A = this chain, B = another copy of it.
């Protein structure tokens, strides 16, 4: 395990490998170990061997159940007794409601009042109690804080939380356990919970793996943050990848600065075409956010030094892609 050689300083985090192993043991009985699928026709298109970690086939439809389950089952009985609260318009909301139901505690979910009806129904189907707020970041956090004060519920932040990051890290851990010789892993990036967890989960098993974040051009805050070396906010975004409209947090940014190989930007057209290609060739329904992690590999030029160019006369690169979810 490579991370034994690395200090928290090197890793950009105090999260130990042991915390990721414990998270994995904690959530293993409750979640799917999702399959790693391959596609010969996509290998040909990418000029590389691709390995798809299918979190779109995960419980509650995305990787978010990993972090939510780890966080909620990490609480002591006393801490859990007043329930949990979070703010999210998407997959994290459903995941917290689902994991809270497994633990038998209430979950208050703050959602913007323009959240899609299908996302609200998912939360309600798991017994989550929705409170609507104005569609602004400040309204979300204020409403969640008010519910915390009123109920004593614990906040389960979508990504700025070590228990969440350790939980999300288990997806990459499983991927590298299944395909040990990976050269690189690509995941989408929004708040950075999955991407920073992927850095930790992959590098904990194999330090040489190059981890890339993939992001819509229309929501390029991670790209700007990494490039400038300072946390850059995302004001708002109309990207079709509705799961990728959040900004990095201090905790995730610190990990990414230390461990990331790069951020790759993707156009809206590429996102839509990649979703269609995956339905046609892989028979999988993936959400736009997931398509973002594959699209850069399908360009004529590929990713410099990784696929396509690397191919000439050398063995193909082995590249993992995390399909983050399937909730369209």
A286 close to chain B: CB less than 8 A: yes
**What band does the interface of chain A fall in when counting residues whose beta carbon is under 8 Å from B?**
10 to 19
A187 close to chain B: CB less than 8 A: no
- Determine the residue in chain B with the shortest Cβ distance to A35: B35
Report chain B residues within 8 Å CB of A32. Answer: 37-38
CB distance from A18 to the nearest CB of B (A): 30
Give Cα distance in the complex from A282 to B40, angstroms.
23
The copy count of this chain in the complex is 2
A326 close to chain B: CB less than 8 A: yes
Give Cα distance in the complex from A283 to B37, angstroms.
14
Give Cα distance in the complex from A26 to B125, angstroms.
46
Give Cα distance in the complex from A35 to B54, angstroms.
11
Give Cα distance in the complex from A279 to B61, angstroms.
11
Give Cα distance in the complex from A244 to B195, angstroms.
44
B285 touches A56 (CB 8 A): no
Give Cα distance in the complex from A284 to B279, angstroms.
8
Give Cα distance in the complex from A37 to B34, angstroms.
9
Report chain B residues within 8 Å CB of A56. Answer: 283
Residues of A near any B CB (own CB < 8 A): 32, 35, 37-38, 40-41, 56-57, 59, 61, 125, 279, 282-286, 326
